Chains A and B, each alone.
Chain A
Amino acid sequence: MSEEISSDLFTHLVELAAFELSPEEAKYLHQQLNNQLKSIHELEAIPLDEQTPITSHGVPFTPAISPPIREDLWQPSIHSVEILSQAPETDEGYLIVPEIPHTDLE
């Protein structure tokens, strides 16, 4: 496996990530991604038998050390006014965003 991230694929990834990039930034990021891929390709050399399971986190979460499931009880939240005050734009408790592109149904 020695593929690289092509220019087209890079553009697609940038679109998915929702980034507006300067040409210099794009060039640097594209190059660094392909450099990192060279390192990742090292994983190809490792013999893995079919039975090797995945590890999604190191320490096993056994029932003995897992917290019990909490009761589903209502608890007061921190102030919504305080939280909403962090938003760039609000109106009467609503978050305001620019026009959302949409298509009107016939």
Chain B
Amino acid sequence: MELCDLPAHQISQMVHQRIVSAAEVVESTLKRISEVDGRPGSLDSGDIQPEDLQNVHAFITLNALGAQDRAREIDQILARGEDPGLLAGVPYTVKDIFCVRGTPSTAASRILANFVAPYTATPASRLEAAGGIMLGKVNLDEFTYGSSSESSAFQPCPRNPWDTTRVVGGSSGGSAAAVAAGEGQLSLGTDTAGSIRQPAAFCGVVGMKPTYGRVSRYGLIAFGSSLDCPGPVARNVTDAALMLNVIAGADPHDSTAANMNVPDYMQGLEKGVRGMRIGLSPDYFRITFPDSKTGEIQQASIDEEIHQAVLRAAGRLAELGADIVDNVPMPHTHFGVPVYFVVSRVEAASNLHRYDGVKYGYRTPDSVENVREMYRKTRGQGFGIQPKLRILMGIYVSAAQYSAQYYNRALRVRTLIRRDFEQAFDQHGKYRLDALLTPTTPTTAFPIGDVYGDSVLMQYADQMTVPANHAGIPGLSIPGGIANDGLPIGIQFLGPDFSEANLLRIARAYEMITESDEWRKRKPKILEESI
């Protein structure tokens, strides 16, 4: 096993004990990147070449020299007898939706392609301050708008390490693909409707959306400001807990970051689940969606293999002493996507008005008669199709004559979604759950090109994950098996506000009891073929 395949907590320990140097860890990781990643995403990348189809393409910006310098710095700190921090020598990547000083911070959009951030996002600066080593910035859906990472203006888009004909999920697709392929132990992602958990599920890694406010949004290029949550993508639960320890906490730069102490998520991680109440809901075993032609609402079951993986997980947790509570009603789950179509679009339209070709970013090179024409050409050329779609819908549903019927109504339905969770988690109520166990996604990773273009169907990939964003609660996706198509299955734990420690503990218990299962030994195909 290569150093780049070891978990973050083990790397940190080995670097601290000077069993290996940070420089060796970085060299191992850069070697892996050169073996599997192929060319980084770029604007005007030309046609996709045959070799592109075999690579991961997680990166937009790889900073190999910067990582090597930083590794030497970490080794020098240790040589002086000082402690670099919890993540000493751990290589990580950052979704290119975060500002990191001195790096291109593109949001995977032409309109920000030339923007070099003048400051660093709080969670990114905390990773660095803890002794981590940033390898570079990874690809995503443009402005995070998507569930497959195909909408990036920087092509080739990421491809799934388990099967490079499949999507990585999105929007933190580069993050999940990088972590799965050994291109950095950790990645900093964001989750607005499932953008950490869904790609984590598709790529067979661990992804956590913390409670809204648990991790600062300062320096995150905003999409839906009431929904966006930065969080960890990691190879296992312990690493996710370690990373959350580093990035969580109050921040004077973000008034929505909760002013609460951060518990040590590593402590009690292996205490088990005896006596914990874990719920299953039939409302998470089916999807509801409108027919694309008639608009009629239809229902379908999720993939049977995914359903069975969730039931199997419940069975294993029951063996460990958890009380499994069946038939927990979550009746407003399927309204998550239509509410999201309204709420996120209004917030996106508001956040994207700032890109105007005046202060930073792209400006049209065409000659123009006046500033209005400059705005129209700049925004027409700079934004891809997904941001345009969100801006137009956001303007429509928030217009004075429509907002009562759309925006205000959606915000009231959001209250009902939150109430479903409050009732399930109420410790004096009927169900008294510590967590709800659900599938993360209705299917495994779909083929590249199959869904892209149908913006409605694509959004429904988030049906199991988006309710947590509306409610603000934490959610954690972990691998729960491998389907017959050879692709990973994700299972999800949802809990009450600020219950990350419990979710990590339950997930760790499941990880431990399945440690010797045959499916745990499977590796992404790209690692079998390329290494």
Contacts from A to B (Cβ < 8 Å): 1-2, 5, 9-10, 13-14, 16-21, 25, 28-29, 32-33, 35-36, 38-43, 46, 48, 52-59, 61, 65-68, 70, 78-79, 82-83, 86-89, 95, 97-101
Residues of B within 8 A of A28 (CB): 385
- Given A17-B392, A19-B379, A46-B335, A67 and B259 touching (CB < 8 A)? yes
- With A17-B391, A57-B226: A98-B369 Cβ-Cβ less than 8 Å: yes
If the complex has contacts A48-B413, A67-B252, are A32 and B226 also in contact, measured as CB distance less than 8 A? no
Task: Give chain B residues whose Cβ lies under 8 Å from the Cβ of A42.
Answer: 288, 290, 297, 335, 338
Distance of A18 Cα from B364 Cα, bound (Å)? 13
Let me know if B363 and A88 touch, CB within 8 A.
yes
Shortest beta-carbon distance from A24 to chain B in Å = 10
Tell me if A13 and B260 are in contact (CB < 8 A): no
Residues of A within 8 A of B371 (CB): 97-101
Known: A18-B375, A59-B472, A88-B363. 6 other contacts (CB 8 A): A29-B385, A52-B415, A55-B414, A67-B259, A88-B362, A97-B358
CA distance A88 to B111 in the complex (A): 12
Number of inter-chain CB pairs below 8 Å: 193
A80 to B381, CA, bound (A): 28
Binds A, one of B129-137, B404-412, B512-520: B404-412
Chain B residues packing against A (C-beta within 8 Å):
115-116, 118-119, 211-213, 226, 250, 252, 255-260, 288-290, 292, 295, 297, 332, 335, 337-339, 341-342, 349, 356-363, 368-377, 379-381, 383, 385, 388-389, 391-393, 395-397, 405-406, 408-416, 418, 454-456, 459, 469-473, 497
- A58-B395 contact in complex given A46-B335, A65-B259, A101-B372, C-beta closer than 8 Å: no
Distance in Å: Cβ of A99 to nearest Cβ of chain B: 4
Query: 22 pairs across A/B with beta carbons < 8 Å?
Result: A14-B392, A18-B372, A20-B381, A25-B385, A39-B295, A40-B338, A42-B297, A43-B406, A52-B415, A54-B408, A54-B414, A55-B412, A57-B226, A58-B226, A59-B212, A66-B258, A82-B118, A95-B358, A97-B371, A98-B369, A98-B371, A99-B369
How many Å lie between the Cα of A13 and that of B116 in the bound state? 31
Q: Is the CB of B412 within 8 A of A52?
A: yes
| Contact indicator A57/B456 (Cβ below 8 Å) | no
Asked if residues B337 and A39 are in contact (CB atoms below 8 Å), the reply is yes
Shortest CB–CB separation between residue B377 and chain A, in angstroms? 5
Which A residues touch B408, using CB under 8 A?
54
**Cα distance A89–B358 when bound, in Å?**
8
Contact call A86/B392, Cβ cutoff below 8 A:
no
A55-B411, A59-B472, A98-B370 in contact; A17/B119 too (CB < 8 A)?
A: no
The CA of A7 and the CA of B359, in the complex, are separated in Å by 33
**Chain B residues within an 8 Å CB radius of A20:** 376-377, 379-381
Indicate whether A86 sits within 8 Å of B471 (C-beta atoms), given known contacts A32-B389, A35-B455, A101-B370: no
Bound Cα distance A70, B252 (Å)? 8
The reply to whether B226 and A56 contact each other, CB–CB distance below 8 Å, is yes
CA distance A15 to B416 in the complex (A): 35
Q: Are B358 and A13 in contact (CB under 8 A)?
A: no
Complex Cα distance, B332 from A83, in Å, reads 45
Report B-chain residues with C-beta under 8 Å of the C-beta of A59: 211-213, 258, 472-473, 497
CB distance from B84 to the nearest CB of A (A): 26
Q: Which residue of chain B has the shortest Cβ distance to A67 in the bound complex?
A: B259
A1 closest partner in B (C-beta): B405
Nearest-neighbour CB distance to chain B for A97, whole angstroms, equals 5
Contact present for A48 and B297 (CB under 8 Å): no
> Cβ of B372: which chain A residues have Cβ within 8 Å of it?
18, 101
**Which of chain B's residues have a CB closer than 8 A to the CB of A99?**
369-371
Rounded to whole angstroms, the CA-CA distance of A28 and B453 in the bound complex is 9
Residues in A with CB closer than 8 Å to B389 are 29, 32-33, 36
Contact A39 B413 (CB under 8 A): no
Closest Cβ of chain A: how far from B463's Cβ, in Å?
Answer: 11
Q: Give the chain A neighbours of B226 by CB distance below 8 A.
A: 56-58
Q: Are B374 and A98 in contact (CB under 8 A)?
A: yes
Give the most central of A17, A46, A88: most B CB within 10 Å: A17
Contact across chains for A66 and B259 when beta carbons are under 8 A apart: yes
Q: What B residues does A33 contact at CB under 8 A?
A: 389, 392-393, 396
Q: Output the least CB separation between B201 and chain A (Å).
A: 22
CB distance from A71 to the nearest CB of B (A): 11
Closest partner residue, chain B, to A9 (CB atom): B396
Question: With A20-B376, A33-B392, A67-B257 as given contacts, are A48 and B412 in contact (CB-CB < 8 Å)?
Answer: yes
A32-B455, A67-B252, A95-B358 known; A58 and B393 CB under 8 Å? no
Q: Quick check: A87 and B360 within 8 Å, CB to CB?
A: yes
Instruction: Give the distance to chain A from B455, nearest Cβ to Cβ, in Å.
Output: 5
Considering the chains assembled together, what is the distance between the CA atoms of A66 and B332 in angstroms? 29
Asked whether A29 lies within 8 Å of B472 as measured between CB atoms, the reply is: no
Task: Collect the chain B residues with CB atoms within 8 Å of residue A53's CB.
Answer: 412, 415
C-alpha spacing A78/B212, complex, angstroms? 28
* Min CB gap B435→A, angstroms: 17
Given A33-B393, A100-B371, residue A87 in contact with residue B259 (CB < 8 A): no
Complex CA–CA separation, A23 to B256 (angstroms): 41
> Would you call B290 and A46 a contact (CB within 8 A)?
no
Task: Give, as a whole number of angstroms, the nearest-CB distance from B134 to chain A.
Answer: 20
B338 touches A43 (CB 8 A): yes
Query: Are B409 and A43 in touch, CB under 8 angstroms?
Result: yes
User: What A residues does B349 contact at CB under 8 A?
Assistant: 17
When distances are taken between beta carbons in the complex, the residues of chain B under 8 Å from A32 are 389, 455-456
A74, chain B: closest CB distance, angstroms:
15
| Complex Cα gap A101–B374 (Å) | 12
Please tell me if the beta carbons of B396 and A95 are within 8 angstroms of each other in the complex.
no
Chain A residue contacts of B454, Cβ below 8 A: 35
